[in-house]
Structure 1
Amino acid sequence: MSPRRTTETPRAGRRPGGPDTRGEILEAARKSFADKGFTATSIRAVAREAGVDAALVHHYFDSKDELFIESMALPVDPRDLAATVLDGPREEIGRRIATVFLGVWESPDGQQRMRAIFRSMVGSEAVARAMREGITQLILQPVSKALGAPDAELRVSLVATQLIGMAMVRYLIELEPVASADLQTLIDRLAPVLQHHLTG
């Protein structure tokens, strides 16, 4: 009688890279971020889900932050946005935030991606949680820390409400006259409100 043939699958995390390994890693990352959130997701967990070694994930992506940015198809690196916002006089931070945020939405690729992200967040609590945790760590926390105020997190969260509201009204709902207003006019109106939330 011949020995029983095993049907065990190869040990996860050991498969070498293939033609679309990077895409498979991104798909595994999207699933992990949606299921577990940003904080609980790790490079090792994504590697296990994709069936590759963690070193291979690091070969394609320098960090979990980068993996999050690419897997969620963000149009810009949130770390760069935070650095830009914090680079300059404190009394002009509201204008820099308005300029950077609306600038992302005004580019054709940025608007297309941001529309998809917003709709995904509205339709999926899991995606909303992943984005909430990721953006909090990559943007909100660094800006809050730089403010150095006791209620910095509340101040930055209030700024987020203004920005999300503007995005919804101008780019998703397309409510007039905001939808067709001149970009510089919107920045001029929005900047003082954001500045008040942060330093007022």
Structure 2
Amino acid sequence: MTRSASGGTAKPDAGRPAGNGRPGRRPGGPDTRGEILRAARESFADKGFAATSIRAIAREAGVDAALVHHYFDSKDSLFIEAMALPIDPRQVAAGILDGPRDELGRRIVTIFLGVWESDEGQQRMKAMLRSVVTSDEVARLMREGITKMILEPVSQVLGVPDAKLRVTLIATQLIGLALVRYVVELEPVASTDVATLVDRITPAIEQYLS
């Protein structure tokens, strides 16, 4: 305790942090994990997997890198959780398969574009797309997951020997569309309304299916 100028006893400074914590760095708290995920999502979207570091994510989230490692044991683990698709791939497959066979192509295009059209979905999908081409491990994980949860179920309903080839060729069409519209932003595809895109792309997809 110290004596105040008026002769009273001054209380310790209640606003002063205890210990020797570094100023400007937030300790773990209720929303710290969410802030780390937000920072990681933005970094992966802007830079891709290879150019993103744990330290950079920590700086953006306002925490120490050690705290990021406390919540996530590796950059791969952080990527997998931060880049969680806005729609469960199993639900995507179920939506594609739920309906008449002669409308399968239209459902594929509609659902694919639907995933990309929301702000959050687009951010996550762009991050995934960029990271897949810069990391063999991420590409392998995504390839195996998408094949098992989407490509195989759709292939099975076609009932033809080259079904997997056909579905994979459809994927090349859709990935190309996503690159042009959402990453390169090439006009007029980038600003064309979704309904028009579905009408224009569906016949091409139907060719692979039939």
TM-score, normalization by structure 1: 0.66
| Bigger Rg, structure 1 or 2 | 2
Residue 116 of structure 1 deviates from its aligned partner by 0.8
Pairing partner for 2:137 from 126, 145, 168: 126
Contact 1:94/1:195 (8 A) holds in 2: yes
Which runs of structure 2 are paired with 1:18-167 in the superposition (5 Å)?
Answer: 27-28=72-73, 31=76, 70=81, 72-167=83-178
What CA distance in whole angstroms lies between the structure 2 residues aligned with 1:158 and 1:197?
Answer: 7
Residue 126 of structure 1 deviates from its aligned partner by 1.3
Q: Which protein has greater RCO, CA pairs closer than 8 Å, 6+ apart?
A: 1
Residue 185 (structure 2) pairs with residue 174 (structure 1): yes
Residue 194 (structure 2) pairs with residue 190 (structure 1): no
What CA distance in whole angstroms lies between the structure 1 residues aligned with 2:136 and 2:71?
Answer: 20
Distance 1:115 1:26, change over 3 A: farther
Residue 29 of structure 1 deviates from its aligned partner by 8.4
Q: How many equivalent residue pairs?
A: 145
User: Aligned-residue CA RMSD in angstroms?
Assistant: 2.5
TM-score, normalization by structure 2: 0.63
Residue 26 of structure 1 deviates from its aligned partner by 8.3
What CA distance in whole angstroms lies between the structure 2 residues aligned with 1:170 and 1:105?
Answer: 10
Residue 187 of structure 1 deviates from its aligned partner by 0.4
Q: Structure 1 stretches of 5 or more lacking a match?
A: 1-18, 35-67
Residue 27 of structure 1 deviates from its aligned partner by 3.7
Q: Structure 2 stretches of 5 or more lacking a match?
A: 1-29, 34-67
Distance 1:72 1:24, change over 3 A: farther
Residue 31 of structure 1 deviates from its aligned partner by 3.5
Distance 1:164 1:25, change over 3 A: farther
User: Counting helix residues as a fraction of each chain, which structure ranks higher?
Assistant: 1
4+ long deviations beyond 2 Å: 23-32
